[in-house]
Structure 1
């Protein structure tokens, strides 16, 4: 790409990371998405992309790019994210008076079918937080207690798995602690209440953990002493699915869905649940109202005499 575009591109990425405080993964994804488009543009125009070539873009150019990505079996959600990254870059160019790229806003994104979250039942969600269920496994007791503590945080506090694994030893919500502070998407901090059962599970894990934990390091550890990875937690849930006969939709993230759905079904306030989950938009949280409604309708269809043909 030309030097003018390269400079603007680098500044935009720095702005995403420091100005908008997006997560590193999101910045990397946006960088990759825009690079893919610029590579496509260079091939289409047979020239190195520049700020001028972006300003002269036609909607047909962008549609051709999306069509090529679709032919490469890229899904609608990925295409929507890619288009969002391109629009973000275009808006940044406008704000910094480097030109207008109107084509990015003139093209409608692909239709995305929103799938409802798939929560676990309350008994199943509670069962995966019980270390005794895996007592027959040939695993150290501290590992079983560790996994149970992670699952307890996901279900009892509604945390994302990345948020749970990032909690440090000094911030561990042990017995006697009634809240935990986590850093969510966009580096936004929030405080979440901690149930006594969750604190007890974490206290038990820490008592059994064979490693010395520095105050500012993650409290959850792998078997070799390094920070616990999300993949290990996913494999532990996979093992529990087999033991409990749970469906493939029973994942660590499903525990977070279960937290929200079960709170809502017990009369929880939607705004409060939004804050507990760390959702930036209420519309994201509103997906759980559809889950709850669909469960009610399923029960109605199964039990009500008038619902039967």
Structure 2
């Protein structure tokens, strides 16, 4: 990486660390900035303009979500340079926001979930899947789950942005939660806890096909809402700041759409307006 970029990126990541940002967020920000530096080796963080940034984000090979992530990184980085007096202007202020198509819920099919549980050879593999499906945990939340997080039948989860949420443990989880009395439920090989990527790869392997841990989270949202019909409760369980995000996690089956149409009031033919 260009020596002109390295110290600025280092100071920026320390700034994010001081604010308690997740390691995964910092890693993502760093990778985007390293890519930007490699794309424009003749420029420094102090000389690059909005023209180059627009060209970079307009990469036709990137999906809208990637463009949005790249823009978010650039905005945060150049905001930092501006407020610290390192750069007098912020070139990202001239960039428009990236529109991302609304996400569609992708709950995992029931038979894939049961198949994954059947293929699990060890209790900890079953436990991984159940934590995603019956508590709605993200893979990094599963990886760092500690016995201290389970008290009196409730799980305390520190999610994105260090936001805390409390989840009543489903009865199917309790035997696994009570198997261990101290330490991480998924310890690392030498110290600490398992890496989130390891959790994700293990779950995907067990589920087979193109299915992920996050789709189990969607299954949790869809199934829970179908039973309780309380969107705010599901929002709290998932740890979403915006209920609109929760809505995008909840799938709607064809039978529900058919029932909704069937519920419309029927007019008799003679009551319909004439075309003539």
Q: Same fold (TM over 0.5)?
A: yes
**1:124-139 maps to which residues of 2 (within 5 A)?**
124=111, 127=114, 133-134=118-119, 139=121
| Unmatched runs of 5 consecutive residues or more in structure 2 | 267-276
CA drift of 1:94 comes to 2.4
Residue 33 to residue 292, structure 1, CA distance change in 2 (3 Å): same
**1:27-176 maps to which residues of 2 (within 5 A)?**
27-43=26-42, 48-51=43-46, 53-54=47-48, 57=49, 59-67=50-58, 69-70=59-60, 73-120=61-108, 123-124=110-111, 127=114, 133-134=118-119, 139=121, 143=122, 145-171=123-149
**Residue pair 2:106, 2:249 contacting (<8 A) in 1 also:** no
CA drift of 1:195 comes to 1.4
Matches of 2:211 and 2:131, distance apart in 1:
16
| Unmatched runs of 5 consecutive residues or more in structure 1 | 207-212, 239-247
CA drift of 1:183 comes to 2.3
Judge which range, 105-114 or 29-38, deviates more.
Answer: 105-114
CA drift of 1:74 comes to 2.8
Matches of 1:126 and 1:41, distance apart in 2:
46
CA-to-aligned-CA distance 1:102-152 (integer Å, 9 cap, x gap): 43122224442233121135x5477358x5x44xx8x4xxx0x32222222
Partner residue in 2 for 1:242: none
Partner residue in 2 for 1:185: 160
Aligned residue pairs: how many?
261
CA-to-aligned-CA distance 1:252-304 (integer Å, 9 cap, x gap): 32221111112222344323322211223333113145x33876325556999
Partner residue in 2 for 1:235: 205
CA drift of 1:64 comes to 1.9
Partner residue in 1 for 2:272: none
CA drift of 1:85 comes to 0.3
Partner residue in 2 for 1:260: 221
Residue 235 to residue 303, structure 1, CA distance change in 2 (3 Å): farther
Matches of 2:41 and 2:155, distance apart in 1:
49
Residue 62 to residue 170, structure 1, CA distance change in 2 (3 Å): closer
RMSD over aligned Cα, in angstroms? 3.6
Residue 126 to residue 294, structure 1, CA distance change in 2 (3 Å): same
**Residue pair 1:179, 1:193 contacting (<8 A) in 2 also:** yes
Residue 294 to residue 41, structure 1, CA distance change in 2 (3 Å): farther
Matches of 2:25 and 2:14, distance apart in 1:
12
From 142, 162, 182, the counterpart of 1:215: 182
CA drift of 1:78 comes to 1.4
CA drift of 1:87 comes to 0.4
Using the size of structure 2 for normalisation, the TM-score is: 0.77
Describe the SS at the equivalent of 2:17: helix
Residue 115 to residue 95, structure 1, CA distance change in 2 (3 Å): same
Using the size of structure 1 for normalisation, the TM-score is: 0.70
